[in-house]
Amino acid sequence: MKLALSTSTSSVITPRSSAYMYGPGLPIGGDYGTVLSYFIDRGRPTYGFAGMAPDMAVVAVEVFVVAFVVIVPVVYLFLDQSMTAESWYYVYRYMYGSTALASYSVPTNAGPVSGSPGPLTLISSNIFGPPSNGYFSPSVLPNSSGAMPLSGVGKVKKSVLAKVEKMGNPMLVQVSLGNAPLIGSESLL
């Protein structure tokens, strides 16, 4: 298995939460099994693109963040190297276009991270920053009870968690189940 790891140790502090390190040891690329295993081993839900072979794209939830009164997934995207030149198209088509986020533009600094051994490459929302901070947020997931946030931070009402599931994305298909942590949930108590 080929594997390339990010060397970034950057952390992000969200309002009303302790420091959370995004993507510790995040691979910047590798084969499908390696990338998928990284997220499965960490208990994160993963998705593929509808209508494509599963090893062509991996969308993985890193964490759920509370933004105002909504729970927003923060995701990483890996694409097959044959698709990286048009990564903006795949971000828009599969992550934004068929959802309530259709009016969002793909970040202008989005693109493939250099140095990936392939065949999958991390697509960063900002190629000038560290790879672990290249996540896409907001994002819309398909309807699935296998991607609910962990309720380990605070006591979150079930009705609030259900808001995540109301905006399904038909362009993503769940590959593995998991529960990403929920940070900043103090505002939902």
Bridge pairing between strands 111-112 and 70-80: unpaired
Average confidence score pLDDT of the chain: 76
The DSSP secondary-structure symbol of 149 reads P
Q: Which 8-state DSSP code applies to residue 43?
A: T
Least confident of 46-55, 95-104, 116-125, 161-170: 161-170
> What residue type is 171 in one-letter code?
M
Ordered by start, the domain boundaries in the chain are 3-181
Predicted local confidence at residue 179, as pLDDT: 77
Strands 20-21 and 111-112: unpaired
Q: Using a pLDDT cut of 90, give the percent of the chain over it.
A: 32
% the chain with pLDDT above 70: 71
What value does the mean pLDDT take over residues 93-113?
83
Do residues 180 and 149 lie in contact, with contact meaning Cβ atoms separated by under 8 Å? yes
pLDDT digits (tens, 9 = 90+) for 107-148: 889 999 999 888 999 999 999 988 888 888 877 777 765 666
Encode pLDDT of 51-82 as tens digits.
999 999 999 988 888 776 677 788 999 999 99
Task: Indicate the pTM of the whole model.
Answer: 0.78
The mean pLDDT value for 96-103 works out to 74
